[in-house]
Amino acid sequence: MKHANLNFGLAVLGALFGFALLIVMALPATALADEDALALAKKSGCLACHSVEKKVVGPAWQDVSARYKGDAGARELLIAKVKAGGKGNWTEVTGGVPMPPYSPRVADADIEKLVDFVLSLAK
Ligand code: HEC
């Protein structure tokens, strides 16, 4: 009886582990891996003015992510900002330099991926 319980417990653990593994393996299908997102950012020209960790011309993407953490409207706002450009949100960091417009130079779907990546950076 004892052995039966132990085996049952191991079977449940095994099933849970397998399930967790499945979920982890399914994730990259929806979100871009960090290096793919960075490659897209490079290709799109973003890295001329941004880096993840440091202010370059524009604010560090890590700081952008931290500022909008928990803000449900941030995704829409930032997608619109990358498409149309604009200034005024980071004047204290940038001295008022504008963010250039990226639509239609960069495809809408790519802009959405880039914004999702930026927003994912805050820990
Ligand atoms: C010529 C320099 C430059 C390039 C190239 C550039 N940015 Fe920016 N970016 C800026 C500046 C400057 C700001 C701050 C604007 C402000 O003060 O509102 C900014 C702000 C942002 C923000 C925060 C916007 C906000 O309102 O909080 C995001 C997100 C962003 N950039 C993403 C991108 C992406 C994605 C790309 C590439 C497709 C890109 N940037 C390319 C200069 C640049």
**Residue ranges of the domains in the chain?**
1-30, 32-119
The topology under which CATH files domain 32-119 is Cytochrome Bc1 Complex; Chain D, domain 2 (1.10.760)
Residues with CB under 6 A from ligand 1: 44-46, 48-50, 57-59, 64, 78, 81-82, 86-91, 94, 97-100, 102, 106, 114-115, 118
User: Highest mean pLDDT range out of 16-20, 30-34, 109-113?
Assistant: 109-113
pTM of the complete model: 0.81
- 26-51 burial code (b ≥16 CB/10 A, e <16): eeeeeebeeeebbebbeebebeeebb
Q: Which residue's CA is minimally distant from atom 38 of ligand 1?
A: 46
64 closest CA partner among 39, 40, 99: 99
Q: How confident is the model at residue 45 (pLDDT cuts 50, 70, 90)?
A: very high
